[in-house]
A and B are shown apart, each in its own frame.
Chain A
């Protein structure tokens, strides 16, 4: 640039500076306009109720597949080691979400900033103090966990019971017809033909307090192949809800699998001899004890980012997705969790970014990325049992609806499922809204995901916040919860269209009254 134009340019620059300081800065087309600098959306009562259609289009078009895949590549990288709760990889992911949120112009959405910290406990089986004691007449046998009997790792919790044993024959429906086994531990000697996995279900319907399954008529315990894995898993332990804080849970239905050594100990007591009638009391008492050691607390993070609204800013639409997955297995295989739930995590980022580029909605949006979903929806439970929404304009705000996204990057590009549908007790207008905008994004009528309603975070939000909820989900697939859930299989364009669908839904939540 030569000096002549420089001088003139300098003059114009000064003029420009004066000009811009004399009036409100226009809503910038470049990134990150904080709401306060977007007067186009905040002035006067004549504002339209929705994003003006051209700006909705711009917002939709600003969502790019390459941007989504860039986020997903980071989240599903081996370096994040499968984002187990808790783990370094998970914390790195949280910090990535924080950096992204801050840089795009969102506000901290948690009480102490960007993270909602909540405690979980580390639970480990105390093998030495876990046992089954059987008493008959004046004789007693103590069965050791792991050696004599075992149960699945889902049964890892503190438990004590003392119940009489009842004979349940082969454990089949027909044998047990008409019997009421309430409050008793059912002892089953299965036929080799009966599938073992069916037996506990049958007995639980008969209201038994639990079941002891002996080796079958061929002398086998079909669950034996799982034993070592279960035992190791319980000794390694897992993360769980702090036991001291738990409300009373459903009583445990005890499922005990007897090994040969344990069966021998049991038989040596002598109460299982001769012809036994199905339903007969066995004159034996079983005292079961499960002991756990607790460690921790471990502190986990939900990531919370806020996009304040305008005239209805006190009403908050909660957007959620879990950002954790299941980590690394004992062989060192990384479960990248690209679809589960890198896809949903990236969807929220894409939706948020589109909103920040195009301006606030009437209602506020709170983005919450939850952790420990894979441990039992614990992050969403922790958040919703203690919900926090930032004040807006000095007034308290509250959640009025939740849209939850989990696994939206696989399967047919035009297929997407939703819950709750009309067949579900929690059916509400969000589903109608989603159905009304799905075609514009190339989706067939949204399918039914009601079977998954209770397995996803929106169930907690509905339960604890009493708000209409909606769950978008593209179904499981062959790589579900396998190391093969990797980014190369992801349909990035599908995630883009799901993000656009969600943005359309948010646009459709702009009426004076939400009729959901």
Chain B
């Protein structure tokens, strides 16, 4: 509705233009939004400075431009912006380039970036490997033994990620049943077992009880089922993605090294390819005609697993830009506007684009950066913060809230957080904390006074999501917060959360609403 009205106004305002059509997104999306400035701009000098400033800022917020940002951030090439991931880093650099061009003030701990550590438990395929080696007493099997490649020749589940190397004599253990293992001593040794899709829990338990370091598992018959192969492949993919956790610091201030999986048992699942490689190297062995259970096979097995980074310790990035205030005292008070820019990456081969979650909020912040530039300094300072690893447990905001990269004399006095603001009904928007919530504060009242100006019906309650997005980490520090959210939808955390479904005009109106709120946060006393 709004876009055709805009078009009509364009035609009205520029008669005889007859020139090429104004900028549109063309092939990108069906909607023909324009980057032309919104009508209704006010000539300068006619209004108070503050209002004029706000009007300039509001006019700067443009749906087509917002959609261009959403489109970039949610592009397949950014692979769903998983933490960690290349797509995430590309998104970060896109944001940094914008802040740089707009002339904001870098206020991270490394220019625009705020680096923070997390633990990434994953398989680093470059530094992980599993090998068949000649037993020390025997002649060499090739120069370095037979190496099996992760993903191609073998898999293991991400839960078995570790950061060390084990080596043990390889012992034939049949199918690893209790009966077979009765009386077999496996302390410090690796078991070679067969399994054809049965559940492995008992086998592992039996082998662990017997003291085995781990098990190398092959199919008895030689051919995995496609289904089994598929499951293992997915397991490997999960292993490569890994899991991210928040570090723990010891009393001396050092980050505690992540322990290897409690399940120190080294489970190595050989594929059909790996099995063939193994049998080619172990000429005297055949699973169809095996030796007695408990026999040494004349080989050692070495398994090396490494986390990425430094024993799993990696750094993620938040983005942080400052718009310094003009008032000598009030500029030390910072209104923090936040949005997470990460999503959940690629799963089972599908890109989770995260257009609404949360390219929408990230783009709103980019639009705010542009608007504030037009508005000039406010009395208080404004900080825009894009955080990562929200999807892993609000880690980016946790790190920043614990240790904000603010000059010593500045402090955060309020947080406005946007997460998913580009979908559902045009007038539909939720917020927290509401009056029903113990942390209810005046930000809610200000929001209520502005929402109608931007076409939003009475704001619904998102109190059940109070702990589920980044504002929560600031609330925990005693900072008054407000969280805006358009509610869940069918594409939430699905590969179908794509740009084509985004209502860019809604993001525009949310952005404008926040700008209006900012203007209400400039009195001598905040009173939140």
Partner of A105, one of B36, B40, B71, B90: B36
Whether A431 sits at the interface, judged by CB under 8 Å, is: no
Q: How far is the CA of A468 from the CA of B194 in the complex (A)?
A: 73
Q: Decide: B26 and A108 in contact? CB cutoff 8 A.
A: yes
Which of chain A's residues have a CB closer than 8 A to the CB of B42?
Answer: 13, 16-17, 20
Interface residue total, chain A, C-beta cutoff 8 A: 62
* Known contacts A70-B100, A95-B77, A96-B94; is-contact A20 B41 (Cβ 8 Å): yes
Which of chain B's residues have a CB closer than 8 A to the CB of A5?
Answer: 48
Interface stretch (choices B54-62, B133-141, B399-407): B54-62
Which of chain A's residues have a CB closer than 8 A to the CB of B71?
Answer: 95, 99
Whether A199 sits at the interface, judged by CB under 8 Å, is: no
Partner of A34, one of B23, B40, B51, B59: B23
Partner of A102, one of B13, B14, B23: B23
Q: Decide: B36 and A107 in contact? CB cutoff 8 A.
A: no
Closest to A113 in B: B27
Whether A9 sits at the interface, judged by CB under 8 Å, is: yes
Whether A267 sits at the interface, judged by CB under 8 Å, is: no
Distance (Å) between the CB of B55 and the closest chain A CB?
7
Distance (Å) between the CB of B378 and the closest chain A CB?
12
Q: Which of A9, A42, A96, A99 has the most CB of B within 10 A?
A: A99
Closest to A6 in B: B51
Q: How far is the CA of A388 from the CA of B407 in the complex (A)?
A: 53
Whether A243 sits at the interface, judged by CB under 8 Å, is: no
Q: How far is the CA of A228 from the CA of B111 in the complex (A)?
A: 44
Which of chain A's residues have a CB closer than 8 A to the CB of B89?
Answer: 79
Q: Decide: B26 and A80 in contact? CB cutoff 8 A.
A: no
Which of chain B's residues have a CB closer than 8 A to the CB of A15?
Answer: 46
Q: How far is the CA of A498 from the CA of B445 in the complex (A)?
A: 53
Closest to A24 in B: B13
Q: Decide: A34 and B26 in contact? CB cutoff 8 A.
A: no
Q: Which chain B residues (207-237) contact chain A, with CB distance < 8 Å?
A: none
Q: How far is the CA of A430 from the CA of B399 in the complex (A)?
A: 56
* Known contacts A21-B40, A74-B97; is-contact A112 B27 (Cβ 8 Å): yes
Partner of B36, one of A37, A73, A392: A37
Q: Which chain A residues (379-399) contact chain B, with CB distance < 8 Å?
A: 390-393
Q: How far is the CA of A104 from the CA of B36 in the complex (A)?
A: 10
Whether B300 sits at the interface, judged by CB under 8 Å, is: no
Q: Which chain A residues (61-97) contact chain B, with CB distance < 8 Å?
A: 66-67, 69-71, 73-74, 77, 79-80, 88, 91-92, 95-96
Q: How far is the CA of A105 from the CA of B69 in the complex (A)?
A: 14
Closest to B59 in A: A30
Distance (Å) between the CB of B321 and the closest chain A CB?
12
Q: Decide: A313 and B20 in contact? CB cutoff 8 A.
A: yes
Which of chain A's residues have a CB closer than 8 A to the CB of B14?
Answer: 24-25, 36-37, 39
Whether B21 sits at the interface, judged by CB under 8 Å, is: yes
Closest to B366 in A: A103
Distance (Å) between the CB of A488 and the closest chain B CB?
14
Q: How far is the CA of A113 from the CA of B25 in the complex (A)?
A: 8
Q: Decide: A95 and B75 in contact? CB cutoff 8 A.
A: yes
Place the interface of chain B in its size category: 35 or more
| Proximity bits, B13-30, A CB within 8 Å = 1, else 0 | 111111111111111100
* Known contacts A73-B93, A92-B77, A113-B26; is-contact A103 B18 (Cβ 8 Å): no
Closest to A77 in B: B93
Whether B182 sits at the interface, judged by CB under 8 Å, is: no
Which of chain B's residues have a CB closer than 8 A to the CB of A19?
Answer: 43
Q: Decide: A105 and B20 in contact? CB cutoff 8 A.
A: no
Q: Decide: B60 and A66 in contact? CB cutoff 8 A.
A: no
Partner of A36, one of B17, B47, B98: B17
| Proximity bits, B372-389, A CB within 8 Å = 1, else 0 | 001000000000000000
Which of chain A's residues have a CB closer than 8 A to the CB of B103?
Answer: 66
Q: Decide: A106 and B101 in contact? CB cutoff 8 A.
A: no
Which of chain B's residues have a CB closer than 8 A to the CB of A95?
Answer: 71-72, 75, 77
Whether A515 sits at the interface, judged by CB under 8 Å, is: no
Q: Decide: A79 and B93 in contact? CB cutoff 8 A.
A: yes
Q: How far is the CA of A92 from the CA of B60 in the complex (A)?
A: 26
Partner of B20, one of A25, A67, A79, A107: A107
Q: How far is the CA of A114 from the CA of B72 in the complex (A)?
A: 13
Q: Decide: B13 and A70 in contact? CB cutoff 8 A.
A: no
| Proximity bits, B90-127, A CB within 8 Å = 1, else 0 | 10011011101101000000000000000000000000
Distance (Å) between the CB of B29 and the closest chain A CB?
10
* Known contacts A34-B36, A92-B90, A102-B68; is-contact A28 B41 (Cβ 8 Å): yes
Which of chain A's residues have a CB closer than 8 A to the CB of B60?
Answer: 30-31
Which of chain B's residues have a CB closer than 8 A to the CB of A105?
Answer: 23, 35-36
Whether B201 sits at the interface, judged by CB under 8 Å, is: no
Whether B417 sits at the interface, judged by CB under 8 Å, is: no
Q: Provide a sorted-by-A list of 13 A–B residue pairs whose CB atoms are within 8 angstroms.
A: A15-B46, A16-B46, A20-B42, A28-B37, A32-B37, A36-B22, A39-B14, A67-B101, A71-B97, A77-B93, A91-B77, A102-B23, A391-B20
**Interface residues, chain B, CB within 8 Å of chain A?**
9-10, 12-28, 34-37, 39-43, 46-48, 50-51, 55-56, 59-60, 62, 64-65, 68-69, 71-72, 75, 77-78, 86, 89-90, 93-94, 96-98, 100-101, 103, 370, 374, 519
Q: What 6 pairs between A and B have smallest CB-CB spacing?
A: A113-B27, A108-B26, A70-B100, A34-B22, A16-B42, A308-B20
Other A-B contacts than A32-B62, A80-B90, A306-B20, 4 sampled, CB-CB below 8 A, are: A5-B48, A108-B26, A112-B27, A313-B19
